[in-house]
Structure 1
């Protein structure tokens, strides 16, 4: 990264901590993929969108599923269509490139302008998936056997890879990445995030809501503590229904479950846990 290039900063829609900004810019200097981990809902996917916006770059997104293969990110050869066309006497069969479907890495490597490539939730795929992309991400190039051509990056993309820690990633892959773990926001950072989403929100409502939110997250044994995105949804509901902050402040403390809890609590085990805690506190 030359000194003339812009550095990543927070945007109007995204609050980035100093550590996160440092990680993004360090990965660019080293020309390594940035591997981002953190709790679901802490803004890992949104980070790539905001890096692209902050730097004025195009975003290319590759969402990974359990069935995704690394080859799909490079290209796919549709041999079945070619066979069918040959049986029908279609002249397209003489040009094999007609049956090559470029993947997201191909698109990023051949982009006329520098871009941001997001490989989202890499840990959803098979354990060998990251290793199958080692060479391509390292060399920013790959070979197309069917056509005999090499696809190489004309403008090296900024690669951001997210993981929810569902699987351990191979050491060889980790060595080629710059790693950053997004810590869960503290209360001060959370207030900044809320201000980005709701600039005119009542600050008393925010204080009461945050008190409930962080108390929920601190409950031992909670299967899925509420995340940042769920807090934003909950606040949106509270504002839409114009729930006065005194309802939150003066709520029945023995009830344990906050109003409109469905935005915060996502499974029946956690609801039952809160109900048991409320029952014990009433005894």
Structure 2
């Protein structure tokens, strides 16, 4: 079975090819791209498209690789022993299974998402090398070896906040999600808002791509932010004329808070508008 995209997710030919190549090679698929380009959603849609269960492991700066395998709750065991609880004699009662354990022991092949791996410590990827290679790990407290019943389809996302180790990269199939061009962006908009007027789409895309082209912008608006902005434009019933006949001396678009996410970029556009007004006098 091959991934062909879904009704809710516009996957380019290159992206579909990358997913299917990683599945065929039985290697983790490492996905990079700008924030808001649908990296996390890809795992959800791959699971839906292939009819597989989805297991999600969202990484934080404090996440340790061991937590993906299991955690031993020694504090609870000590407390229960003080209370005379009989379950203290079975250490397995204090083993909390992690997301890799869940994926390894699933009844059928699962899709495992390791989301934003670059948020964790630099050693985090290296600490998972053996487990991802051998598809097994050892539980020291119980003396058992947990082996994967079915090799999961592993999708790993990264926002490029940290460089990943070469040894880890060698074990992955890599794909960078390029920012969508105008035609692809129209397809994405049509998926989210099938009944949207094409005039609104045309004018909104003009403003959106002009905004992304502004030099010096600290954070360019992403696909997800464009979707949010269009939702607001439709909800507030903004006339198409306001977008079509926009005044370049007022560089900030209506409801800009959906597109711009910091004051530096707002001030930049205000300065550009001021310069435009001076030049047009």
User: Do both share a fold (TM > 0.5)?
Assistant: yes
Instruction: Look up the match of 1:3.
Output: none
1:9-43 alpha-carbon deviations (Å, 9 max, x no partner):
12110000000000000000100000000000000
1:92-128 alpha-carbon deviations (Å, 9 max, x no partner):
1110000000000000000001110000000000000
Point out 4+ residue stretches in structure 1 off by more than 2 angstroms: none
CA distance in 2 between partners of 1:7 and 1:239 (Å): 36
Count of matched residue pairs: 278
Determine helix, strand or coil for the equivalent of 1:87.
helix
Determine helix, strand or coil for the equivalent of 2:18.
helix
Residue 85 (structure 1) shift? 1.0
Deviation larger for 245-254 or 47-56: 245-254
Instruction: Look up the match of 1:189.
Output: 184
CA distance in 2 between partners of 1:217 and 1:109 (Å): 42
Matched-pair contact (CA < 8 Å) for 2:248–2:276: no
Determine helix, strand or coil for the equivalent of 2:155.
strand
Q: Within the alignment, does 1:63 sit opposite 2:29 as a pair? A: no
Match of 2:152 among 127, 145, 157: 157
Q: Within the alignment, does 1:250 sit opposite 2:245 as a pair? A: yes
**TM-score of the aligned structures, taking structure 2 as reference length:** 0.98
CA distance in 2 between partners of 1:253 and 1:281 (Å): 7
Residue 252 (structure 1) shift? 1.7
**TM-score of the aligned structures, taking structure 1 as reference length:** 0.98
| Runs of 5+ consecutive residues of structure 1 not aligned to the other structure | 1-5
Residue 51 (structure 1) shift? 0.1
Residue 177 (structure 1) shift? 0.2
| Runs of 5+ consecutive residues of structure 2 not aligned to the other structure | none
Instruction: Look up the match of 2:99.
Output: 104
Residue 244 (structure 1) shift? 1.4
